[in-house]
Amino acid sequence: MSIVSRFRQLLRSDLEAAASERQFGKGWISGVVALVFALAGFLLVVCMRFPSLFTVPEIRALYEQPLFRVALHLVLVIAFLMAILSLLLRQKKVLGFTALFFVILATTLGGSHTEAEMAGHSPVFFGMDWFVLNVIFTGFLFVPVERLFPRYRGQELFRIEWREDLFYYLVSSMMVQCLTYASLWPALQLATHTHWTGLRAGIASQPVVLQFFEIMFLTDLMQYWVHRAFHRIPWLWHFHAVHHSAKVMDWMAGARMHFVEIIVLRGITVIPMYLLGFSETSLHFYIFYVYVHSTFIHANVGWNLTWLGKWIVTPRFHHWHHGLEREAIDVNFAIHFPGLDRVFGTYYLPKDQWPEGYGIANHPVPQGYWKQFLYPFRKK
């Protein structure tokens, strides 16, 4: 076994440590915090050093703000202090030393004072900063909620297949330019070849709140039928089966989607948003909402939300879509409004009940990102 493989095994073992080794005062919590902050700080320093290659243009302007550099400096300081605390408290030192390594590496590259080496514009970029901000934002938002209000109290933070789902986060974030171009191309082509100036002006002049709900309804209507097609057409199901292969539900599970499904699903569902001329403000509000909401409905949160579930898709509603039970097959396709499933006969939500398990019967989809990527293309 190589040194790298041995190190990865030790790190994974400590992250997935037994409950007795993760108690407060054992140095595990400080070690995990140190590692997360150290990795985030290091990757952001790399982004600042090579902005044209590793940053999303819309985020790039943040790096020029003094407060951003102050925040990055605090991230590295916190990582250093938490690493020292973990080393003092914990018998196993791998978390603390790994965090210290990345803090030192980030500091060597210039830390919060680093300057760009590859300035200017690059036609191709990878969203490394989007990956960091994506994981940090959703993690800090949903991990505390899942710890405080879990549906499955015994489910660990570093549960089965957490590395695969984190890698899905990485790939979709790094390839954000490719995914965005491929997803928006059909809608933009349709918008270019249609001259609905009056209609678009009228729609964009509506109150932003009204536009927001109109976008929700139209995209959900499109998404409902595309989603249903992914379940009922066998060759499409092989792509969607990757998403359903998750055996546990939490804030990371929603990231598990095949590259092809992301492009097809987004490419069709965004058509009304761009073809009808909704204002940029309403689009931004909707994109942020669906970003948070799609993570929420996959989360390990035990709220029944019965009153809200009559109108808006909730975790319990969507968990049944992922359920192993026979009754959970091909139900609850809506992503915003469960009323669509009521109208089209695919609604299933037994009172105060949750699925007993998740995934696909007999679990035919293999583990590992690349095996799952190739799964739809292999002869069944």
97-121 mean pLDDT: 89
338-347 mean pLDDT: 97
Residue 120 is predicted with a pLDDT of 65
Using pLDDT thresholds of 50, 70 and 90, give the confidence band for residue 117. Answer: confident
Please write the tens of the pLDDT for every residue from 144-167.
Answer: 999 999 999 989 999 999 999 999
Strand ranges for 154-275 from DSSP E: none
Q: Does residue 345 come out as left (phi exceeding 0), alpha (psi in the -120 to 50 range) or beta?
A: left
Residue 126 is predicted with a pLDDT of 93
Averaged pLDDT of the chain: 93
Give whole-number Cα distances, 121 to 66, 196, 270, 311, 336, in Å: 22, 34, 28, 45, 38
236-253 mean pLDDT: 96
Question: Could you give the 3-state DSSP secondary structure of residue 358?
Answer: strand
Is this model's pTM higher than 0.85 or not?
A: yes
Give whole-number Cα distances, 316 to 212, 294, 313, 348, 359, in Å: 24, 13, 8, 10, 15
Question: Could you give the 3-state DSSP secondary structure of residue 354?
Answer: coil
Please write the tens of the pLDDT for every residue from 247-257.
Answer: 999 999 999 99
Residue 1 is predicted with a pLDDT of 61
6-21 mean pLDDT: 90
| pLDDT over 80 (residue 25) | yes
Alpha-carbon gap, residue 196 to 309, rounded angstroms: 36
Please write the tens of the pLDDT for every residue from 359-372.
Answer: 998 889 999 999 99
Are the beta carbons of 102 and 138 closer than 8 angstroms? Answer: no
Q: Could you give the dihedral angle defined by the CA atoms of residues 137, 103, 67 and 136, in that order, rounded to the nearest 10 degrees? A: 0
Please write the tens of the pLDDT for every residue from 167-213.
Answer: 999 999 999 999 999 999 999 999 888 889 899 999 999 999 999 99
- Helix count and strand count (H, E) for the chain: 19, 0
| pLDDT over 90 (residue 320) | yes
DSSP 106-131: HHHTTGGG---SS-S--S----HHHH
Find how far residue 207's CA is from the centre of its chain: 30
Residue 380 is predicted with a pLDDT of 64
Please write the tens of the pLDDT for every residue from 45-98.
Answer: 999 999 999 999 888 888 888 899 999 999 999 999 999 999 999 999 999 999
270-277 mean pLDDT: 92
Find how far residue 211's CA is from the centre of its chain: 25
Q: Mean pLDDT highest for which of 11-25, 59-73, 228-242?
A: 228-242
Residue 170 is predicted with a pLDDT of 95
